[in-house]
Amino acid sequence: MAIVTISHEMGAGGSVIGRTLAERLEYRYVDQDMIARAARQYGCLEDRLTHLDETRPSLLERFDAETRHYLLVLQSAVLDVAEQGDAVIMGRSGQVLLKGIAHALRVFVRAPFDLRVRRVIQHMADEGEPVDRRAAAELVRRTDQEKAGRTRYLFDVSWSDPALYDVVINTETLAFEAAVDLILGMSRRPELAATAASQQAVRDRALASRVRVALAAHPATRKYRMTVEAKHGVIRLEGTAALEQGLEVARAVQGVADVHTQLLEVPPIPPFVA
C-alpha cells in the first residue's frame, strides 16, 4: 500500500482525517512524536527541532550552521519514516520530500477561511480555552503564513500549489469520514502499490539525507555545501572543497556501500571593465 502524506490548513480537519485513516489502514500515525524520535536518533535538542519544524528560520538563523543541520535532521526524519513504510505522515514537507515516489500518495486538506475559523473556535471551546473570533482568525492566518513561508524558504515552492499533491480535498463539501473513504480507496489502487524500484528509491533518498545530516554536523565539512545523491547504497558527492573529508564522513554513515566524489571547478571572476 501507499505511504500517505497529509498537508492541511488549520481548521480543515486534516488531523482528524489522518488519525482515522491510520487506524483503518493499521498504519503508524506520524505527527509530533516524530520530533522526539529524531532528537534521540540524531542527538539534537527537541525544543530547537520543534521550533524549526513550526516556523521558517529567522534572518540570523539562515546563516547559522546549526540551524542548517537541524533542518536537515527534520527532513531526514520524514524520509526515515517513509523508508520503514506503512505510515500516514502529517505535514513536515512530506509532499515535497516524497515527490516522484510511486507509492507515496500526497494529500492536501483545505476548507474556506471562515469555516476554519469557526472550527478552531469550537475546538478551543471544547478544550476549555474560549477564544474570540478575531483572535481565532489571527491564529489561523498566522499559521497559514508560517507554513507557506517555511515551504517557500526550504524548497522554493508554494505550500498550497495543487501541483504538489495527488489529491486536494475540500472539507466544506466533503465530510471527514467521506474524505477518509476517498483516501483509503486511492491508497489501495494498483498504481500506488509499492514496487522493488519505488522502495529502493525511498531507501536511496533516505540514505542521501542521512549523509547530508552527517556532513552538516561534522566540523570538517559543516561549512561547505555538497551535492549528495545515492543509488543502491553508492553515494556521489559533488562540491568545490573538502571532498576528501566529505568522503570519510559519508563512508561512516550506516548503509553506505561506496562513495564517489566529483570536484567542481569554481568559475573565475571576470575582471572589472570600466
- 159 and 48 share a domain? yes
The mean-pLDDT minimum among 20-24, 33-37, 135-139 falls in 33-37
Residue 49 sits in a domain whose CATH number is 3.40.50.300
154-163 pLDDT, tens per residue? 899 999 999 9
Mean predicted confidence (pLDDT) in 182-197? 94
**Would residue 273 count as lying in a domain?**
no
* Whether the predicted pLDDT of 19 surpasses 50: yes
**Would residue 207 count as lying in a domain?**
no
Rounded Cα distance between 228 and 247, Å, is: 11
Rounded Cα distance between 190 and 178, Å, is: 21
Task: Report which of 72, 144, 141 is spatially closest to residue 108, judged by C-alpha positions.
Answer: 144
Rounded Cα distance between 9 and 253, Å, is: 36
Contacts 24+ apart (CB under 8 A), 50-56: 53/92, 54/146, 55/146, 55/150, 56/146, 56/149, 56/150, 56/152, 56/153, 56/154
Question: Nearest 5°: phi and psi at 145?
Answer: -65, -40
Q: What percentage of the chain exceeds 90 in pLDDT?
A: 78
Cell numbers at 55, concatenated? 516556523
Mean predicted confidence (pLDDT) in 92-116? 96
Q: How would residue 267 be classed by pLDDT, with cut points 50, 70 and 90? A: low
Taking all residues of the chain, what is their mean pLDDT, rounded to a whole number? 92
State the residue range of the domain holding 237. 218-263
Mean predicted confidence (pLDDT) in 59-70? 83
- 28 and 147 share a domain? yes
Strands, sheet with 104-110, edge to edge from the N-terminal-most edge strand: 28-30, 87-90, 3-8, 104-110, 167-170
193-238 pLDDT, tens per residue? 999 999 999 999 999 999 999 999 999 999 999 999 999 999 999 9
* Whether the predicted pLDDT of 271 surpasses 90: no
- 87 and 173 share a domain? yes
Provide the sign of the torsion angle of the four alpha carbons 67, 72, 75, 81, taken in this order: negative
User: What is the pLDDT, as a whole number, of residue 65?
Assistant: 85
- 225 and 187 share a domain? no
Number of domains in the chain: 2
Cell numbers at 211, concatenated? 549523509
Mean predicted confidence (pLDDT) in 72-84? 94
- 188 and 223 share a domain? no
Mean predicted confidence (pLDDT) in 186-193? 93
User: What is the pLDDT, as a whole number, of residue 151?
Assistant: 92
Mean predicted confidence (pLDDT) in 30-54? 89
* Whether the predicted pLDDT of 88 surpasses 90: yes
* Whether the predicted pLDDT of 274 surpasses 50: no
- 175 and 240 share a domain? no
- 127 and 254 share a domain? no
**Would residue 256 count as lying in a domain?**
yes
Packed helices 196-217 and 65-84: angle between N→C axes, nearest 10 degrees: 160
pTM above 0.85, yes or no: yes
User: What is the pLDDT, as a whole number, of residue 159?
Assistant: 92
